[in-house]
Structure 1
Amino acid sequence: MLDKRYQVFISTSGSEMQPERIVLAQTLVGMGFFSWGLEQRTPLSTAFARRQIDDCDYVVLLVGSQYGEQSVSGVGYMHLEYIYAVTKQKPIIVFMHEDPASRDESLHDQKPELREKFLEFRKLLQQEVDQIFTYRSLRDLEMAVRFNMSQMLERYPVSGWVRPQNTQALHDQIDQLKAKIEQLETEVGKREVDPFLSLPKVSMNELFSFEYRMHAYQDGNFKELKIQKKLTWAQLLSILGSMFVNPTPEEYFSKCINDYLNETGLADARMEMPRAHAVARAQINIRALHSIKLQMRQNDWIVPSGRDDRQRMLWQLTLKGQKLLESNLLDNDRVFQFKSAF
């Protein structure tokens, strides 16, 4: 078995969680994990926290009875770190105090509005995160970490860090997996009926309706909105086309569209929340995203073009798609270019 190590980013509300943080960090180290995280947060430390999340394998939220210190936008730093981890698709596990009200009064937020935000954030985590475990004492926390972090390695396997002398064994495993993938793809290709045969082509000005979710922020609070949106196929090709001029991993379909929705979603949010000042965590419905990929392939705008060295499926704009993108046929529906929020 390979001698692997995994990096874990720990996020808490602040210094009142110091005893729990120490237990968590010591337990993780004893299990072979590297633990990271920031106890003191400032606007200047946000970029550093994001870099740590980018480099980590897992994100652990340790939730007691406080919302914690807030950023200038009114959103807590722990809350912001959670949002960023979700956008980066990091495996998230939450250790949450079972009964926050039973904790000492000094461990609670003093302001009523912060107590309300804490309860909303706690409810949000319970709704969105699959891996949530409760504790009442430090001993409970230690046992929960020991058992459930081991389970996380099985449920959400990641590459981790391997000692240099063990890399040959890892390369051997990769070669074996590549051979297995090629074999399975060949077998599936022989049995599979082409799903595109029954899919009709669409015109450039035809509308496509889809749902997406996002968080909208207003007056220091946030609300998750479900938005019904319509874009023409010309607009969708304009959004996605430039990303796939060269062979690009399939995951960039969702990244590209979600980035666009993050940049343009404020207008949609203000239809329901007129004073909304920012939006984040826009995510297109997964079925709608799949339909867009199938339709663009059926229209011969974009096609699979092999795999990269990490065995990710690559897609590329066709010559037909490039000509449409470069022509004036999209001008009436041209989508303005946007920058990623992260």
Structure 2
Amino acid sequence: MLDKRYQVFISTSGADMQPERVILAQTLVGMGFFSWGLEQRTSLSTAFARRQIDDCDYVVILLGSQYGEQSVSGVGYMHLEYIYAVTKQKPIIVFMHEDPDSRDSSLHDEKPELREKFKEFRKLLQQEVDQVFSYRTLRDLELAVRFNMSQMLERYPTSGWVRPQNTQALHDEIERLKSKLRQLETDVGQREADPFLSVSKVSMNESYRFEYRMHAYQDGNFRELKVERSLSWAQLLAILGNTFIHPTPEEYFSKRMNEYLNETGLEDARRIMPRAHAVARAQINIRALHQIKMQMRQNDWIVQAGRDDRQRMLWQTTAKAQKLLESNLLDTDRVYSFKTPY
């Protein structure tokens, strides 16, 4: 196996994110990444930052509670670096503080207009970037980086960097992997090392219990709750199935589940906060999400459908799943009397 290294450009608002930046850089180095980025920016450093982005494999946006220093145009340097990375079609991953308002007041922009720009930029990232992960503590950040940067290598593979004398070996490795990928995508079920094969099939009426987090609002305040939900596999298929009628990127598993939990989580919240009137920011446990995806794959409800132009893995419901979705077998009053035929 080739000893590859990947170059990561880190973009933050500045000195306010120094502790987080140190943790991020140390974690990346420990994982074999090279980290770049500018902590202090000027109009003269913009061209240098762009050259770094041109040469990097991945871009990491680390967002706390500040918009950061602005260029002469009034747009923040971090914002400009994000825009440039998008134009260069660089794989982008965002780690943002879960609750910026809870951070020390010294870590916030002083000017109201900058605070508003920060909110707008944060919302923009949540809407536009596929890979967005939140953290609250430095330990949370470290764990999120360790898990999700490894996932980035699988979802957005790049050539990376190897020693010059190994370039021919790299070319041979790339050709071998391309050939293997074509074989896997056309004959997924034959993979000997496929972890899905170790999962037993489930019946439609079996329940799956999982954890998720959300913000619950009561009496003008909010509180982050960690709760459990139990759904049958028929219900999970009904929730996720229609999202993947056509080939759809993998991250829509989490997007659709989190949407559903936002829509239905109030009852769970009221078991802890009886006067709760709204919930938001629902986020399913990532291991539970992976288990759901594995189980749907093993039950022959979803199948890999290649990759899109951004090299994102695509998934699609099978003919078997579509037949179930078109029938009335997933109706809530019949869910518990139906078993999947093996």
Q: What TM-score, normalized to structure 1?
A: 0.53
* 1:6–1:32 Cα contact (<8 Å) kept: no
Go from structure 1 to structure 2 and tell me whether the alpha carbon gap of 1:256 and 1:225 turns closer, same or farther (over 3 Å shift). Answer: same
Aligned residue among 10, 26, 41 for 2:42:
26
Aligned to 2:178: 182
Aligned to 1:314: 314
Match of 1:182, SS state, is helix
The Cα shift of 1:202 comes to 1.7
Aligned to 1:272: 272
Report the more deviating stretch, 247-256 or 303-312.
Answer: 303-312
Aligned to 1:253: 253
Matched residues in 2 for 1:177 and 1:91: separation? 32
Structure 2 gap ranges (5+): 1-6, 17-38, 51-60, 69-78, 87-91, 110-115, 144-148, 157-170, 336-342
Go from structure 1 to structure 2 and tell me whether the alpha carbon gap of 1:38 and 1:199 turns closer, same or farther (over 3 Å shift). Answer: closer
Superposition map of 1:151-230 within 5 A: 179=175, 181-183=177-179, 185=181, 192-230=192-230
Match of 2:265, SS state, is helix
Go from structure 1 to structure 2 and tell me whether the alpha carbon gap of 1:246 and 1:60 turns closer, same or farther (over 3 Å shift). Answer: closer
Matched residues in 2 for 1:263 and 1:327: separation? 24
Aligned residue among 65, 69, 79 for 2:105:
65
RMSD: 5.3
Match of 1:208, SS state, is strand
* 2:199–2:298 Cα contact (<8 Å) kept: yes
Superposition map of 1:1-342 within 5 A: 10=13, 24-26=40-42, 29=45, 32-33=48-49, 65-66=105-106, 85=125, 88=129, 89-90=131-132, 124-126=136-138, 128-130=140-142, 179=175, 181-183=177-179, 185=181, 192-332=192-332
Q: Which amino acid aligns with 2:291?
A: S
Matched residues in 1 for 2:14 and 2:218: separation? 24
The Cα shift of 1:324 comes to 0.6
Matched residues in 2 for 1:199 and 1:8: separation? 40
Q: What TM-score, normalized to structure 2?
A: 0.53
Match of 1:331, SS state, is coil
Q: Which amino acid aligns with 1:26?
A: T
* 2:14–2:40 Cα contact (<8 Å) kept: no
* 2:250–2:313 Cα contact (<8 Å) kept: yes
The Cα shift of 1:59 comes to 7.1
Matched residues in 2 for 1:229 and 1:212: separation? 8
Identity %: 50
